[in-house]
């Protein structure tokens, strides 16, 4: 049952979105008005409405442009939008996801993309349980955690569904999806959908002995996309990595892969005192290795200085379009040498605009 309040809310959001989107798309006021009337009627009759492909496509791009935490927004217009609102079951959905992954990975020349599954009001709605489509498992063992501690709970979910990993530090987790009220299904990721990079260092040949690696493409798969009052719980999207996400967080955080002590030993840094800045030096070497290795294997990646410059260009570009940029400073600054970037010295309004990508509670 859809209440009058919900109907009113959706109508208001639809009107605001369509007005803005049609203006940005250069459409006439008459055309916008015609479409708004049509949509309002649809909402009156059914409680919801269906986006045209053009609306969907522009709405997802606006949501990227509006994401306050993202430093990579200069490229918002280049997003490839796959419309998967017609999928009927999980297997079909899994295949669409694998197609997206191959398209985006593109042998290393990464292409930003998003796949949109049926809206939440549809009987065919699905939910992806993974936080990211490619992610390493984490296991609690007597000797401590093996793998990615960020995946402990989800790894257990996969094991309870019948999946079993090899038990290495870098086991790729399976895809888990469920449709409507049905039980979840899991699918191993096909080999060709996952490209990984083994880490080496441009000057230190012993670095490879650390046997570190990371996957090429971050595909966020657990956020909800809202466009004009219509919510899509399954809308996995990807960009390419900024080096520090891997080198200054995933592999460096003491509650993730905790590699700074190992890197420091390899470089024979003085770990007996903080004042040697061994952590800072190890962090820099690790980040050099990440950027070097991705480049060596022809996999797209951006360093944090370039990304910050691109963000300032995005700000300028938006200003030229008569739009102001919102942002969350604490997320926009990179975790390595933040004060060397222009972003550090600016301040941002963290107001949330729509269309938007939002967190949603985990289905498990
Ligand atoms: N920080 C996340 C990770 O390290 C990925 C978030 C999205 N990043 C991106 N470059 N689009 O896996």
Strand partners, 232: 225
Q: Residue-wise over 179-191: b if at least 16 C-beta within 10 A, else e?
A: beeeebbbbebee
Residues 239 and 153 sit within 8 Å (Cβ to Cβ): no
Domain boundaries, the chain: 1-49
Q: What is the pTM of this model?
A: 0.98
Per-residue pLDDT of the chain (364 residues; tens, 9 = 90+): 689 999 999 999 999 999 999 999 999 999 999 999 999 999 999 999 999 999 999 999 999 999 999 999 999 999 999 999 999 999 999 999 999 999 999 999 999 999 999 999 999 999 999 999 999 999 999 999 999 999 999 999 999 999 999 999 999 999 999 998 899 999 999 999 999 999 999 999 999 999 999 999 999 999 999 999 999 999 999 999 999 999 999 999 999 999 999 999 999 999 999 999 999 999 999 999 999 999 999 999 999 999 999 999 999 999 999 999 999 999 999 999 999 999 999 999 999 999 999 999 999 9
Write the CB contacts of 292 (distance below 8 Å, at least 6 apart in sequence).
Answer: 200, 201, 202
Burial-class residue 167 by CB neighbours within 10 Å (0-12, 13-18, 19+). Answer: exposed
Residues 204 and 267 sit within 8 Å (Cβ to Cβ): yes
Strand partners, 178: 127
Ligand 1 atom 3: residue of nearest CA? 245
pLDDT of residue 247: 99
CA 142 to chain centre: 32
Closest CA to 228 of 9, 78, 30, 32: 9
Ligand 1 atom 1: residue of nearest CA? 245
pLDDT of residue 13: 98
User: What ligand 1 atom has the least distance to the C-alpha of 135?
Assistant: 12
pLDDT of residue 1: 67
Find the 239 Cα to ligand 1 centroid distance in Å: 8
Burial-class residue 310 by CB neighbours within 10 Å (0-12, 13-18, 19+). Answer: middle
Find the 138 Cα to ligand 1 centroid distance in Å: 18
Give the Å distances, CA to CA, from 267 to 162, 208, 222, 248, 283: 42, 13, 38, 17, 11
User: What ligand 1 atom has the least distance to the C-alpha of 238?
Assistant: 11
pLDDT of residue 114: 99
Ligand 1 atom 12: residue of nearest CA? 218
Ligand 1: does its nearest atom lie under 6 Å from the Cβ of 62?
no
User: What ligand 1 atom has the least distance to the C-alpha of 242?
Assistant: 10
Question: CA 295 to CA 334: how far, in whole Å?
Answer: 20
Which sequence positions are flagged as catalytic? 70, 73, 240, 245
Write the CB contacts of 125 (distance below 8 Å, at least 6 apart in sequence).
Answer: 117, 118, 119, 179, 180, 233, 234
């Amino acid at each position: 049952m859809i209440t009058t309040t919900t109907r009113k809310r959706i109508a208001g959001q639809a009107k605001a979105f369509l007005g803005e989107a049609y203006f940005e798309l250069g459409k006439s006021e008459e055309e916008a008005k015609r479409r708004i009337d049509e949509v309002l009627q649809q909402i009156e009759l059914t409680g919801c409405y269906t986006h045209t492909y053009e609306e969907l496509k522009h709405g997802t791009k606006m949501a990227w442009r509006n994401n306050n935490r993202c430093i990579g927004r200069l490229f918002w217009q280049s997003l490839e939008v796959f419309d998967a609102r017609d999928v009927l079951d999980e297997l079909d959905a899994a295949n669409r996801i694998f197609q997206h992954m191959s398209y985006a990975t593109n042998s290393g020349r990464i292409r930003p993309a998003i796949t949109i599954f049926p809206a939440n009001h549809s009987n065919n709605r699905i939910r992806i349980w993974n936080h990211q489509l490619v992610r390493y498992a984490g296991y609690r063992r007597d000797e401590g955690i093996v793998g990615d501690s960020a995946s402990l709970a989800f790894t257990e979910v996969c094991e309870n569904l019948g999946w079993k990993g090899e038990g290495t530090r870098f086991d790729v987790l399976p895809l888990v999806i469920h449709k409507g009220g049905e039980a979840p299904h899991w699918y191993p990721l096909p080999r060709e959908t996952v490209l990984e990079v083994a880490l080496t260092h441009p000057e230190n040949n012993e670095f490879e002995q650390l046997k570190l690696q990371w996957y090429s493409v971050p595909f966020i798969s657990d956020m909800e996309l809202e466009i004009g009052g219509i919510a899509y719980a399954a809308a996995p999207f990807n960009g390419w990595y900024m080096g520090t996400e891997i080198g200054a967080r995933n592999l460096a955080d003491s509650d993730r892969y905790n590699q700074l002590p190992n890197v420091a030993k390899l470089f024979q840094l003085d770990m007996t005192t903080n004042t040697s800045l061994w952590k800072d030096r190890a962090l820099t070497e690790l980040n050099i290795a990440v950027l070097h290795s991705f480049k060596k294997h022809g996999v797209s990646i951006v360093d944090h200085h370039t990304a910050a410059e691109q963000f300032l260009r995005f700000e300028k570009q938006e200003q030229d379009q008569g739009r102001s940029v919102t942002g969350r400073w604490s997320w926009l600054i990179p975790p390595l040498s933040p004060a060397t970037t222009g972003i550090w010295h600016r301040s941002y309004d963290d107001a949330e605009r729509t269309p938007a990508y939002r967190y949603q509670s985990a289905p498990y």
